[in-house]
Amino acid sequence: MRCQVDREVFAEILAAVAGAIPARTTYPVLQNILLEVTGGKFAVLATDADNTVRKEFALAGKSEDGQVLVPGRKLLETVRELGVADAEFRASERNLRIETARSRVLMTGLDPAEYPEVPKLPEGAPIELSIAAVLDLFDNAGFAASKDEARPAMTGINWEIGKTEMRMVATDGHRLSFVQTKARQAVSAKVLIPPKPFGLLPRGGDTVQFYADPARVGLVTEDTVIISRQIEGPYPDYNRVIPKDKKLSRAVVEREPLTAALRRAAVFAHPVGRLAAFSFSKGKLNLHAETPDVGSSDEDLAVEYEGKEMRIGFNASYVMEALRHISSAKVQLEVQGPLAAAVLRPVDEEGGIEKTYLLMPIRLD
């Protein structure tokens, strides 16, 4: 393998695929990146065994076909620090040589045959989707996905593509995000995949081709192929847990003052649970937080409130995280009772996305 590469372009591609390298693994080979030159194109591939990403770009000038397998993060650090516009890459056996006008680097790698076989794209006709729409949904839903590997279904993003809308749902059992937008498609699909593929999807592109079968999902753009394993379900029935009772008590409050008040309350919230008590009454919301031997905080906010007086506890961090994904000036909090799930929604949200955030309460003593 031999080629001349634009360092800046290569560093950008390496940074993009490095997101697929696992932070911890019992298979050291997965810490490596596969470089391959074929027919005047340079391909870079990384995988964590569940998610695989391949990016390629055209080479200028002469090149020799071949491949090499080298440590991914070390290669990224090296390329970033070269400090020149171009570099020559030459591979022989398991070694990669990088040469510039002023420096020479030798990296020792592994036999490319040791790298996992690249999975094939699911068969069938793809669905063409807007990259911006897909990433907008993920950015507003993905934060609620669970990190607990003991409940694998909850670590995934429930992605539904309908003929008139597209939606994503994520939950960790303590909160749930439901976001959807209008979309016109000839066919429908429903998949459950890890959050990682969305982080690997290039931002700024126009469209992505979506492929799916019962085991895998494929996402293909002009220069990127991402293949992800589907997570085995079943996924929680979110339609059953989102309250739809029209008799719910409702509070409408200014988003920024509520966020600021929660930040102040969080200073005194107990480190375990981050409990903040919300007390609703006509025209007023009181926020209370306290930790023994530390202190307490009380703050009143003006609200438009319809319903019976109520006191309910929430994890302050969870409420603030949901508020960060809302841009409307006001938000509406719908509550049933001190032990029932509550719903946070934007009022007059721009952007064409419907956002619903479910918050499970914390019992108040």
Q: Look up residue 1 and give its amino acid.
A: M
- Please report which residue ranges of 35-163 form alpha helices under DSSP H: 72-80, 131-141
Nearest to 107 by CA among 119, 116, 98: 98
How far apart are alpha carbons 33 and 71 in whole angstroms? 6
pTM value is 0.92
Q: Look up residue 184 and give its amino acid.
A: R
pLDDT tens digit sequence for 249-278: 999 999 999 999 999 999 999 988 999 999
Instruction: Report the share of the chain in percent with pLDDT over 90.
Output: 85
Q: Residue 28 burial by CB count (10 A; 0-12/13-18/19+): exposed, middle or buried?
A: exposed
Domain with residues 127-238, CATH architecture: Roll (3.10)
Position 45 scores a pLDDT of 97
Confidence of residue 101 (pLDDT cuts 50, 70, 90): confident
Kindly state the tokens that stand for 158: 């429930």
The answer to whether residues 364 and 311 touch, using CB atoms and an 8 Å cutoff, is yes
Nearest to 20 by CA among 76, 58, 59: 76
Nearest to 333 by CA among 262, 273, 269: 262
- Tell me if 2-114 shares its fold with 127-238: yes
How far apart are alpha carbons 56 and 37 in whole angstroms? 9
The answer to whether residues 173 and 24 touch, using CB atoms and an 8 Å cutoff, is no
> Among 126-130, 138-142, 290-294, 356-360, whose mean pLDDT is lowest?
290-294
The answer to whether residues 45 and 54 touch, using CB atoms and an 8 Å cutoff, is yes
Q: 3-state DSSP call for residue 17?
A: helix
Confidence of residue 3 (pLDDT cuts 50, 70, 90): very high
CATH for 2-114?
3.10.150.10
Position 37 scores a pLDDT of 96
pLDDT tens digit sequence for 132-169: 999 999 999 999 999 999 999 999 999 999 999 999 99
How far apart are alpha carbons 298 and 281 in whole angstroms? 15
Instruction: Give every strand in the sheet of 295-302, ordered side by side.
Output: 295-302, 284-291, 275-281, 310-315
How far apart are alpha carbons 345 and 325 in whole angstroms? 10
pLDDT tens digit sequence for 193-240: 999 999 999 998 899 999 999 999 999 999 999 999 999 989 999 999
Rounded to the nearest 10 degrees, the angle between the axes of helix 255-266 and helix 316-324 is 150
How far apart are alpha carbons 356 and 365 in whole angstroms? 28
Nearest to 159 by CA among 175, 148, 172, 145: 145
| pLDDT higher than threshold 90 for residue 176 | yes
Kindly state the tokens that stand for 72: 């991914």
Domain spanning 243-359: CATH superfamily: DNA Polymerase III, subunit A, domain 2 (3.10.150.10)
Confidence of residue 348 (pLDDT cuts 50, 70, 90): confident
Confidence of residue 352 (pLDDT cuts 50, 70, 90): confident
| Domain edges within the chain | 2-114, 127-238, 243-359
Supply the DSSP string of 141-183, one letter for each residue: HGGGS---TTSGGGGSEEEEE-SSEEEEEEE-SSEEEEEEEE-
pLDDT tens digit sequence for 37-73: 999 999 999 999 999 999 999 998 899 999 999 999 9
pLDDT tens digit sequence for 63-99: 999 999 999 999 999 999 988 888 999 998 899 999 9
